[in-house]
Structure 1
């Protein structure tokens, strides 16, 4: 745990909070007799703390950014993909307490479990050290992801693509799954987005949602490039 605290940049006064943040419901269910509690309550609190800190940062640092763009940027910064990146930087997976079945099924690398654990850790830091400590952690690991912030939330490429094609009436976008590969705990999905029945972009990702975003990003590049060429 000391090594993880060093990676977090925060030393806990009450280390049991960190232990709880790393306890998945599958482990808690298998160890009820020991009084183990899952990290779900901490995840709930951490989600709110994260959202508030990010919203406050965006509001103060981008005084001219309209509400819709603020919302998209916040969503890009706090999305599962962003939180999984944090978990991987911290190598959080190796510290998770999982049930035997979840562990054997690749739970340590499961994006949803990793993202939830990051939110729980944020709550643990908040409860142990206050909002200042939580803000410092969020700033270090999430708000320093300048690529997402500078894109003004355009990591929500599906919305950006929808707004792009709606400049002309009668435009119809559709997404379809074209394939998937890999084991259940590490699947890769492939998606194609069509504009008026014509392929406009392809993408892949660890979830269908991520693959759709990737395809939308490719479509934006294709359409804006075609417009520039034209």
Structure 2
């Protein structure tokens, strides 16, 4: 019989959402947000950036930040790139959005995997249908927000590829030398496909996605050459 470590037991145990209608439940949700989800660090640095007249990106906003952004930025939509959760950070954000009249959309993407065709086309449709001004966020505002920011700049703003991919850079705390470098490898695969041609003659991005993009091959090539990224990820303890 295999004995589970205390850490494995905690992971296996299903998380039960805190009840925000009670004082104890609200206190628990705040503890989860501040300590378990590292909200105390985000109180110091929000990683908030305006990337177009109608779009912002950031790390996980606290309820107070949601209300502040609603007032000062006029937000109508928040894209939560972490997906729906029973954890305190999500419950409190959802409540704050409801109070501020902001539409919260859960659109989960991943920082350590190559994006699927379905996710990319869904992102395109999302950018065409949401109400602006909008803000997209993940936990740190670096990787998943970076991926979606590049897609937004390419698909919605129609900016040149080299300009769009600046959204994945250390300016936003993105580190390509960990497993999150898989996102860089994804976009680099598109650039490599068009190598030798002027950028204005590149195959349209969505056509490449539909006809040429091999998600598993890009992932396999990245992992084959992957070096010290695991250590970087462990040190930073990022999602």
TM-score normalised over the length of structure 2:
0.29
Structure with greater Cα Rg: 1
Larger relative helix fraction: 1
